[in-house]
A and B are shown apart, each in its own frame.
Chain A
Amino acid sequence: MGFEMFAVFPGCTLEKYSSELKEPLIKILKYLGIEWIDLGGRCCGMPLLLSGDSESFREVIRSNTDYLRNVVVITSCAGCFRVFREYYSGFMVKHLSQFILDLGFSSFPHKVDLRAVYHDPCELIRCRVAEEPRELLRRIPGLSLSEFKLNRESSTCCGGGGLVKAIFPSLAVEVAYEKILRELPQDVDAIVSSCPFCYLNFKDAASIYSLNIKVYDIIHILGMALGVL
């Protein structure tokens, strides 16, 4: 393998929720000691794709492609990941969980005492990314990992996708609430996902319905396990 240049693509949602999502991501990458180009501030175009504005979507792809040639793109947004996989070409894309696993991280220095259940984001599971986030979570000391009864390819949606949350916000939250109510395994303190939309939607459901459950993106768990959060 030749020279690899890493490019971090936080995506629009991590930018919008910067202190909650982007900053932890940057801290993790700094801890890992890699060098990267920051592609912050850019949008992968998914909102346009989902809006049906294919012409503008293609323009965004063209404009982004100039920046993405011959790099390894790292993103923790399941939406960006899927769009890069399915609609772009000319570079490699890795979800943060894949990237860290590929670095060969076999143990994490800090304990994270948590009984967590992993929620498969639709955008990752349709790209067959299921095991990498689980494998990382399993390597974290103190963390016990549970599964929803319907998991991996059979997993159910949090309601936060497809722009439904933008149009019918209460409906999206209600889907998350219904999933928690109906599917959450017993003796679990937290839901962990690896997609900002799932994270935000579950978090909204937990806060609106005052549920006794913590909600994390995998970024937060990794940050804690590395001692940067």
Chain B
Amino acid sequence: MFDNVFQTYKLRLYEAMDNSFIRAALRRAVDSFRINRDKALKRYSDVEDKRLRLIEVKKHVLSNLESYVKQTMESIESNNSYAYYAKSINDALKIIDEVIGSGKMIVKSKSITSEELNLNYNLKLKGNIVYETDLGELIIQLLDSKPMHILSPAIHVPKEKVAELFSKISGENLPPDIPKLTMFARSFLRDKFFKADIGISGANAIVANTGSIVLIENEGNARYVSNTPPKYVVIAGLEKILPTLIDATILVEVVSRYASYYMPSFVSIISGPSKTGDIEKTQVLGVHGPREVHIILLDNGRSEVARDPLFSQALYCIRCGACLYECPIYQLVAGNFGYTYFGGVGAIWTAFIDRELHYASLIAFTCTLCGRCKVKCPMNIDTPEMILKLRESIHSIKLIPEPIRQIIENVKKYGSPYGLTNRFL
């Protein structure tokens, strides 16, 4: 079974590696990412102090996670919103089913946490229609493909392919002209935002003492998703909790600069439903924005990881995506080096959050352990050390790829990984 998964995975890696579209797209992406990131870090040199402070904040929250979850839920409820704690994927899907039901039209902004729940599939199963509204994510959805990067999900799709796809949908012959393709996405989605019954998003941060959702974006789609439909649903991992709004603003600066932006175009802070008291001071919910706000805090293994002395740092990840652009393997195969979560740190998430141990093993053994991700990580996440430890756990449950089993046997038997050629004296 595992050997079959290994062979399939290997084939997929090799196919991706030989795909000239992926290679070309990633080369361009890596080059412009590095230039822009370095420019952003140079222009805002104070980000160095801020990231160090953010590491401390994250550490503090994760070591007091239970009380922060409690505080966050109380704050959310005091904002006339609904707070839910979902222990598992099943819990989360049950809550979503109750809140959303069936036969709804849904607009959604990019959320990797929702990938963890296989959310679109599950919503469709209940007879809902879902539109992804992030441009890259929309392309992925229309292609029926899988996101290949946390920030740029369609990083592996060239403009020619997008033109072909959008032409098919519009019935027009759209040229591979990026601004024109973008305009098509705008007109295609515009009325969906207003017709939708429900908006769904993730969160970049949830503020414990104010119950606020913080959304960081450039396109402006998340603003629509959170604002135009009458009901707004947020699904966020527990690791997104930060104590105060000040901490969230620090996060905004750190994550955007390391993601190669000076400032994201839009930062939304949403603390409850839309409301007015303008007529006779009588409070009414739902004016121009949503009448209902539902926030689901997803655990799914996070509180357990948070207690681990080594692996807890995987939860420090703020999803800037810098490590992926700096990874020699990711540059060749994109998100195929991963499962729901990508790259070396993705192996840890695959093991403990997705709990897909076969894939966790294969991802861990696709890492060269070069350590460049650690050097470039704003949160100082020591991915190589975690990968080594993960390989150890994987070894103890005997999910080691065949060539590695051979190496172990050779060293034990002959004193060399290469076998008989140089035997111990």
Shortest Cβ gap from B403 to chain A (Å) = 5
In the bound assembly, the distance between CA atoms of A52 and B14 in angstroms comes to 24
Other-chain contact of A161, B13, B369, B394 (Cβ < 8 Å): B369
Q: Which residues in A have their C-beta under 8 angstroms from that of B424?
A: 41-42
Other-chain contact of B416, A43, A159, A163, A166 (Cβ < 8 Å): A43
Task: Say whether B395 contacts A50, CB under 8 Å.
Answer: no
Interface-lining segment among A28-36, A103-111, A167-175: A167-175
In the bound assembly, the distance between CA atoms of A138 and B331 in angstroms comes to 32
Q: Which residues in A have their C-beta under 8 angstroms from that of B216?
A: none
Given contacts A15-B416, A164-B366, A167-B403, 6 further A-B contacts (CB under 8 A): A52-B392, A56-B408, A171-B14, A171-B333, A175-B328, A178-B332
Interface-lining segment among A69-77, A92-100, A149-157, A221-229: A149-157
Interface status of A179 (Cβ within 8 A of chain B): yes
**Considering only CB atoms, which chain B residue lies closest to A179 in the complex?**
B328
Q: List 25 A-B contacts (CB under 8 A).
A: A12-B418, A15-B418, A16-B422, A18-B422, A47-B408, A50-B388, A51-B395, A51-B400, A51-B408, A52-B388, A52-B390, A52-B393, A53-B395, A54-B392, A122-B368, A157-B328, A157-B368, A157-B372, A159-B329, A163-B407, A164-B368, A168-B13, A172-B368, A178-B331, A182-B27
Interface string of A51-91 (1 = CB under 8 A from B): 11110100010000000000000000000000000000000
In the bound assembly, the distance between CA atoms of A24 and B328 in angstroms comes to 31
8 A Cβ contacts from B362-399 to A? 365-372, 375, 387-388, 390-396
Which applies to chain B's interface (DSSP): helix, strand, loop or mixed? helix
8 A Cβ contacts from A1-45 to B? 12-13, 15-16, 18, 40-43, 45
Interface status of B307 (Cβ within 8 A of chain A): no
Interface status of A48 (Cβ within 8 A of chain B): yes
The size class of the interface chain A forms with chain B is 35 or more
Task: Say whether A48 contacts B388, CB under 8 Å.
Answer: no
Contact A41:B423 (CB < 8 A) given known A12-B418, A52-B393, A174-B17: yes
Task: Say whether A174 contacts B407, CB under 8 Å.
Answer: no
Task: Say whether B369 contacts A154, CB under 8 Å.
Answer: no
Task: Say whether B375 contacts A171, CB under 8 Å.
Answer: no
- A residues in contact (CB < 8 Å) with B: 12-13, 15-16, 18, 40-43, 45, 47-54, 56, 60, 122, 126, 153-154, 156-157, 159-164, 166-168, 170-172, 174-175, 178-179, 182
**Considering only CB atoms, which chain A residue lies closest to B370 in the complex?**
A157
In the bound assembly, the distance between CA atoms of A186 and B14 in angstroms comes to 30
Minimum-distance CB pairs A-B, first 6: A52-B395, A52-B391, A157-B370, A162-B369, A15-B422, A47-B417
Contact A175:B368 (CB < 8 A) given known A16-B416, A168-B10, A182-B27: yes
Shortest Cβ gap from A199 to chain B (Å) = 15
Task: Say whether B17 contacts A12, CB under 8 Å.
Answer: no
Q: Which residues in A have their C-beta under 8 angstroms from that of B417?
A: 12, 43, 47, 166
Task: Say whether A175 contacts B329, CB under 8 Å.
Answer: yes
Q: Which residues in B have their C-beta under 8 angstroms from that of A172?
A: 368
**Considering only CB atoms, which chain A residue lies closest to B23 in the complex?**
A178
The size class of the interface chain B forms with chain A is 35 or more
8 A Cβ contacts from B397-425 to A? 400-401, 403-404, 407-408, 411-412, 415-418, 421-425
Task: Say whether B408 contacts A171, CB under 8 Å.
Answer: no
Task: Say whether B411 contacts A56, CB under 8 Å.
Answer: yes
Q: Which residues in B have their C-beta under 8 angstroms from that of A47?
A: 407-408, 411, 417
Task: Say whether B415 contacts A43, CB under 8 Å.
Answer: yes
Q: Which residues in A have their C-beta under 8 angstroms from that of B370?
A: 122, 156-157, 161-162
Q: Which residues in A have their C-beta under 8 angstroms from that of B17?
A: 170-171, 174
Shortest Cβ gap from B366 to chain A (Å) = 6
**Considering only CB atoms, which chain B residue lies closest to A153 in the complex?**
B375
Task: Say whether A166 contacts B404, CB under 8 Å.
Answer: yes
**Considering only CB atoms, which chain B residue lies closest to A172 in the complex?**
B368
In the bound assembly, the distance between CA atoms of A216 and B258 in angstroms comes to 36
Q: Which residues in A have their C-beta under 8 angstroms from that of B331?
A: 178
Other-chain contact of A171, B332, B393, B423 (Cβ < 8 Å): B332
Q: Which residues in A have their C-beta under 8 angstroms from that of B403?
A: 166-167
Shortest Cβ gap from A165 to chain B (Å) = 9
Contact A12:B422 (CB < 8 A) given known A42-B415, A52-B392, A168-B366: yes
In the bound assembly, the distance between CA atoms of A49 and B206 in angstroms comes to 39
Q: Which residues in A have their C-beta under 8 angstroms from that of B425?
A: 41
**Considering only CB atoms, which chain A residue lies closest to B374 in the complex?**
A126
Q: Which residues in A have their C-beta under 8 angstroms from that of B416?
A: 12, 15-16, 41, 43
Other-chain contact of B365, A18, A41, A163 (Cβ < 8 Å): A163
Task: Say whether B404 contacts A156, CB under 8 Å.
Answer: no
**Considering only CB atoms, which chain A residue lies closest to B404 in the complex?**
A51
In the bound assembly, the distance between CA atoms of A122 and B387 in angstroms comes to 16
In the bound assembly, the distance between CA atoms of A118 and B357 in angstroms comes to 39
Q: Which residues in B have their C-beta under 8 angstroms from that of A48?
A: 408, 411
In the bound assembly, the distance between CA atoms of A47 and B409 in angstroms comes to 11
Task: Say whether A16 contacts B421, CB under 8 Å.
Answer: yes
8 A Cβ contacts from B59-81 to A? none
In the bound assembly, the distance between CA atoms of A45 and B416 in angstroms comes to 9
**Considering only CB atoms, which chain A residue lies closest to B332 in the complex?**
A174
